[in-house]
A and B are shown apart, each in its own frame.
Chain A
Amino acid sequence: MTNLLLNIDAGTIDWSRAQFALTAIYHWLFVPLTLGLALIMGIMETCYYRKTKAFERGETNRDVVDFWRTTTKFWQRLFGINFAMGVATGIILEFEFGTNWSNYSWFVGDIFGAPLAIEGIVAFFMESTFVAVMYFGWNKVSRGFHLASTWLTGLGATISAWWILVANAWMQYPVGCQFNPDTMRNEMVSFMEVALSPFAVSKFCHTITSAWIIGAVFCVGVSCWYLLKKRETKMAVESMKIGAMVGLIASVLAAATGHKSAQDVAEVQPMKLAAMEALYNGGTDVGLTAVAWVNPFCQPDYQNETEAPLKLDMPYALSFMATNNPHGYVPGINDILNGYTTPDGKVEPSIDEKIEMGKQAIEALAAYRQAKSEGADDATLSPLLSTLNENMKYFGYGYVKDKTQVVPYVPVNFWAFRIMVGLGCVFILYFALIIILTYKIPFVTIFTRRLLAAIGLLPETEADGYEITRLPAWHYWLAIVLIPLGYIASESGWLVAEFGRQPWTIQDMLPTWVAVSDLNAGSVALTFILFLILFTTMLAVEISIMLKQIKKGPQL
Chain B
Amino acid sequence: MTYEFLQHYWCFVVSLLGALLVFLLFVQGANSVARTLGWTEEGRRLVYNSTGRKWELTFTTLVTFGGAFFASFPLFYSTSFGGAYWLWMIILFTFVLQAVSYEFQNKIGNILGPKTFQFFLTLNGIVGPLLLGGAVATFFEGSNFIVEKSNMVADGAITPVISYWANASHGLDALLNPWVLVLGFAVVFLARTLGILYVMNNVDDEDIRSRGSVRIIGAAVPFVILFVAYVVHLLLKDGYAYNPETGVIFMEPYKYLHNMLEMWYLTILLLIGVVLVLFGIGKTIVSKDYNSGIWPAGIGTVLTVLALLLCSAWNNTAYYPSTADLQSSLTLQNSCSSEFTLRTMFYVSLLVPFVVAYIAYAWHALDRKKLTREELNGDEHAY
17 intermolecular pairs with C-beta atoms under 8 Å apart: A84-B102, A109-B70, A109-B78, A113-B74, A116-B67, A118-B345, A120-B67, A128-B57, A136-B366, A137-B366, A184-B149, A187-B340, A518-B161, A519-B85, A534-B96, A534-B97, A538-B104
A98, B70: Cβ atoms closer than 8 Å: yes
Residues of B within 8 A of A516 (CB): 161
Residues of chain A contacted by B363 (CB below 8 angstroms): 129
B288 contacts the other chain (CB 8 A): no
CA distance in complex: A369, B157 (Å): 14
Question: Scoring B residues 42 to 81 as 1 if CB is less than 8 Å from chain A, else 0, what string do you get?
Answer: 0000000000011011011011101110111011011111
Enumerate chain B residues within 8 angstroms of A519, measured Cβ to Cβ: 82, 85, 170
B107:A549 contact, CB within 8 angstroms: yes
Q: Does B229 contact A (CB under 8 A)?
A: no
B interface with A by C-beta (< 8 Å): 53-54, 56-57, 59-60, 62-64, 66-68, 70-72, 74-75, 77-83, 85-86, 88-89, 92-93, 95-97, 99-100, 102-104, 107-112, 149-150, 152-165, 168, 170, 337-338, 340-341, 344-345, 348-349, 351-352, 355, 358-359, 362-363, 365-366, 368-369, 379-381
Q: Give min CB distance, B77 to chain A, whole Å.
A: 4
Query: Of A88, A99, A130, A547, which is within 8 A of B100 by CB?
Result: A88
Known pairs A100-B82, A130-B362; A544 contacts B109 (CB<8 A): yes
Sample of 19 further A-B pairs with CB below 8 A, known A103-B152, A109-B74, A126-B358: A2-B155, A4-B160, A88-B96, A98-B81, A105-B70, A105-B78, A105-B81, A117-B70, A120-B67, A121-B348, A132-B362, A137-B365, A140-B366, A369-B153, A514-B160, A517-B161, A518-B82, A518-B163, A549-B107
Q: If the complex has contacts A7-B158, A518-B164, are A537 and B112 also in contact, measured as CB distance less than 8 A?
A: yes
Given A110-B337, A121-B349, A541-B104: A132 and B153 within 8 A (CB)? no
Q: Does A540 contact B (CB under 8 A)?
A: yes
Known contacts: A129-B362, A140-B369. The answer to whether A544 contacts B162 by CB under 8 A is: no
- Taking a contact as CB atoms under 8 Å apart, the answer to whether A102 and B338 are in contact is no
Cβ-neighbour of A94 out of B66, B97, B352 (below 8 A):
B66
A353 to chain B minimum Cβ distance, whole angstroms, is 20
Is the CB–CB distance between A113 and B150 below 8 Å? no
The 6 A-B pairs of least Cβ separation, nearest first, read A109-B74, A102-B82, A98-B81, A548-B109, A120-B64, A113-B71
In the bound complex, CA of A30 to CA of B100 (Å)? 12
User: A73: CB under 8 A from chain B?
Assistant: yes
In contact, A133 and B70 (Cβ under 8 angstroms): no
Q: Which of B112, B345, B349, B366 is in CB contact (< 8 Å) with A541?
A: B112
Show the binding face of A for B, using Cβ within 8 Å.
1-5, 7-8, 73, 77, 80-81, 83-85, 87-92, 94-95, 97-103, 105-107, 109-114, 116-122, 124-133, 135-137, 140-141, 145, 149, 180, 183-185, 187-189, 191, 362-363, 365-366, 369-370, 514, 516-520, 523, 527, 530, 534, 537-538, 540-542, 544-549, 552, 556
User: B213 to nearest A CB, angstroms?
Assistant: 26
User: Measured between C-beta atoms, what is the minimum distance from B189 to chain A in Å?
Assistant: 25
Point out which of A73, A117, A523, A527 has the most chain B C-beta atoms below 10 A from its C-beta: A117
Query: Complex: how many Å from CA A544 to CA B108?
Result: 8
Cα separation A541 to B103 with both chains bound (whole Å): 11
Q: Point out the residues of chain B lying under 8 angstroms from A77, CB to CB.
A: 380-381
A124: B residues at CB distance < 8 A: 60, 63-64
Q: How far is the CA of A542 from the CA of B54 in the complex (A)?
A: 22
For the complex formed, measure the closest distance between the CB of B369 and the CB atoms of chain A, giving whole angstroms: 6
Kindly state the separation between the CA atoms of A112 and B66 in the bound complex, as whole angstroms.
13
Q: How far is the CA of A135 from the CA of B379 in the complex (A)?
A: 10
